[in-house]
Structure 1
């Protein structure tokens, strides 16, 4: 087998307790005017307010946009970009969850290139570098601090859309676990489940022929050796610590490991990409208005069940990571124990076992299948070939909460 790897990162990734205090020195090489994209939690949180204070004390002019809206509607992006344009920043700083960091990327894009935001939808549509972005996550899940993608909600479209370009990878990521300590258990669970799904889908993504053009023609290239290493780091960290971080929010070690897992998963899927669970979640989320992480985690065990024939070694490795592998079992039995372990972890942290429990109406199942197939990048990144019929079967099985409906089915 020919090994193939691709790594795309910004200039600096800092991880660890207290690393946020390096922010002023990290900004200075880019200039002395910083535009912060954050949400309404910022002025109420002493740790976050201290970031702006520290920047100003070092002679950096700071403008704060704290009206970021979850799921990032287009109107929010245009509003923030207008405020930033009037300020004239040298660097854009995203502080918060995935939407805040995605907003920072898109404000940097809007300030660097003219045109409607829709002109950049898809892959490789950003023509040149954008204003430098520094990303500081306060949740542990999306991995946006190291990924080449930003997701937004365009009112002209039924579902969220993405802009994917290596130019959107933040120049600097600062991951300080202390900033996640105040994250409530429910959000910790949803974000962590999202990270686990990123890790699993990147680890099991389709393996493509490693031509010299692959990394130049696609942002998300499928399974590769660098993504695998980060995905396994993420799965290890999350398997052992996510439930603890949810149940014991003050556990510093668990918080640290969950943030490490989210970061590593972001690096992994930033090149490998995600697959069927994400393709199906987009229409599910559009009609149920449920959190992205909740949707992909609900779907993940069912997608894994469908993909099992193509992923026996990977799922067996997951079983070993979770400590549920048993000697004497066949490869298929070991792999299925891996799926069981993932679903058990999700159940433990409150992820629903079915799409019905997420609030999806039965009369929407056909529509969900139809819309899922439109996400060609995600569908084509799945390790087992997907058809409209097979996606419908995954959706139906997940709707009723019966994984065994997917055993032995043809593609």
Structure 2
């Protein structure tokens, strides 16, 4: 088992990447018609079949067209973004000319549009873009409109694609994927099914915690040029703190009344805050381990990272007592007059309580993971080096096995 070694941001580095324009608030989707003409008169709208049939979407498109923008809709995006979806849009619109790409949907739709904007501008093969900073140049301008409160994909410059030839999810990470603008309208989330609300909210909370407790890397200028993720830093922390304060009250209110627009708004703002935080700090072990679990069990990404978080935090706790003690204060569970370690323990339990409040399972067996899956999942998780490098505690294969075994058993005792 690896020895816990604490990392700190000795450089006092701050790094932020974000869309050029951010518009947040209920009803703000209607501003899209005024925003798009600045990019040109031909827009490709990307969405899925469910959203394309929604009257809210049709009203949005009608308003855009009435304002003078010609809209073509591509509505065949599938969950977990299969590579074939991107190949299909490139074939369907080969030779077509668009001025801007607009994404209206959840995380898979937003991730799809980021890569589609590159392919439509540059051509080429999807697999040639896999990895970190491989995308050679900018794509078409991209405008994102998230319809779920959780992934933060409207703000991030990474897309996750499922490649069936590799039987795994693969990341495309590049600053060239950053949206030119995003419009975040919480009214979209009022019609989210309960299961989707739970999964995306759990994803947002995991993003906030993993960004705030990420490894500090103290990168050189050359490192910043070569790598997307700078590790834990001042500006990522600022957004993570805001998001954690928001979920403290928003999750219980949203669980009690899914139609509470204020709670939905706060959750969506927390998710956006989380997206900004992970955009430079990165995610870590929970995301690395979830990917093969999701492939095996076909469970939702957000439920997977949420269910893993209590066990990952117990593993990471020796290296992040100070940060978790602050989390306890941010989510309102810090014990009066207690030690930093007691506060860190309270933070982990408070995070578990927030996950339970929104209906996220707290063990891996509930996702369908079984003991015979452990070795395979551990092997595949260790291939996600972009994510494991962000974990605050050095993560070895034996550690992943331990996390998985505890998670399947639902053993949330304190580790020694």
TM-score tier (shorter):
over 0.9
Structure 1 window deviating more from structure 2 (92-101 vs 45-54): it is 45-54
For 1:59-208, what aligned pairs fall within 5 Å after superposition? 59-208=68-217
Q: How far apart are residue 216 of structure 1 and its match?
A: 1.0
Q: Which SS does the other structure have where 1:8 is aligned?
A: coil
CA contact (8 A) 1:140 1:262 kept: yes
Structure 1 window deviating more from structure 2 (65-74 vs 266-275): it is 65-74
Q: How far apart are residue 86 of structure 1 and its match?
A: 4.7
Query: Quick one: distance in 1 between partners of 2:269 and 2:337?
Result: 33
CA contact (8 A) 2:370 2:408 kept: no
1:2 aligns with one of 3, 11, 33:
11
- String of CA shifts for 1:18-72, please: whole Å, max 9, x gaps: 2111112211111100001001123332221111101110111100111211011
Query: Quick one: distance in 2 between partners of 1:299 and 1:268?
Result: 20
CA contact (8 A) 1:91 1:134 kept: yes
Long gaps (5+) in structure 1 = none
Query: Quick one: distance in 2 between partners of 1:323 and 1:234?
Result: 13
Q: For this pair of structures, how many residues does the alignment match?
A: 407
Query: Quick one: distance in 2 between partners of 1:49 and 1:8?
Result: 32
Query: Quick one: distance in 1 between partners of 2:396 and 2:85?
Result: 36
For 1:247-266, what aligned pairs fall within 5 Å after superposition? 247-266=256-275
Long gaps (5+) in structure 2 = 1-9
Query: Quick one: distance in 2 between partners of 1:386 and 1:259?
Result: 31
Query: Quick one: distance in 1 between partners of 2:149 and 2:21?
Result: 18
Change in CA separation of 1:246 and 1:87 when aligned onto 2, cut-off 3 Å: farther
- String of CA shifts for 1:76-104, please: whole Å, max 9, x gaps: 11222233335421101000101111111
Match of 1:350 in 2: 359
Q: Which SS does the other structure have where 1:244 is aligned?
A: helix
Query: Quick one: distance in 2 between partners of 1:97 and 1:86?
Result: 27
- String of CA shifts for 1:287-314, please: whole Å, max 9, x gaps: 0000000000000011111111111111
Query: Quick one: distance in 2 between partners of 1:396 and 1:43?
Result: 42
CA contact (8 A) 1:136 1:175 kept: yes
Query: Quick one: distance in 1 between partners of 2:128 and 2:84?
Result: 16
CA contact (8 A) 1:94 1:104 kept: yes
CA contact (8 A) 1:72 1:99 kept: yes
1:407 aligns with 2:415: yes
Q: How far apart are residue 390 of structure 1 and its match?
A: 1.2
TM-score normalized by structure 1? Answer: 0.96
CA contact (8 A) 2:214 2:284 kept: yes
Structure 1 window deviating more from structure 2 (17-26 vs 238-247): it is 238-247
TM-score normalized by structure 2? Answer: 0.95
Q: How far apart are residue 108 of structure 1 and its match?
A: 0.7
Query: Quick one: distance in 1 between partners of 2:242 and 2:127?
Result: 35
Q: Which SS does the other structure have where 2:191 is aligned?
A: coil
Across the aligned residues of Structure 1 and Structure 2, the Cα RMSD in angstroms comes to: 1.2
- String of CA shifts for 1:138-166, please: whole Å, max 9, x gaps: 10111111101011111111211110000
Query: Quick one: distance in 2 between partners of 1:43 and 1:331?
Result: 50
Q: How far apart are residue 181 of structure 1 and its match?
A: 1.2
Q: Which SS does the other structure have where 2:221 is aligned?
A: coil
Query: Quick one: distance in 2 between partners of 1:4 and 1:233?
Result: 19
CA contact (8 A) 1:94 1:133 kept: yes
1:359 aligns with 2:368: yes
For 1:273-352, what aligned pairs fall within 5 Å after superposition? 273-352=282-361
Match of 2:385 in 1: 376
Match of 1:43 in 2: 52
Q: How far apart are residue 244 of structure 1 and its match?
A: 2.1
Query: Quick one: distance in 2 between partners of 1:23 and 1:375?
Result: 37
Q: Which SS does the other structure have where 1:135 is aligned?
A: strand
Higher relative contact order (CA 8 A, sep 6+): 2
Query: Quick one: distance in 2 between partners of 1:182 and 1:48?
Result: 12
Q: How far apart are residue 180 of structure 1 and its match?
A: 1.1
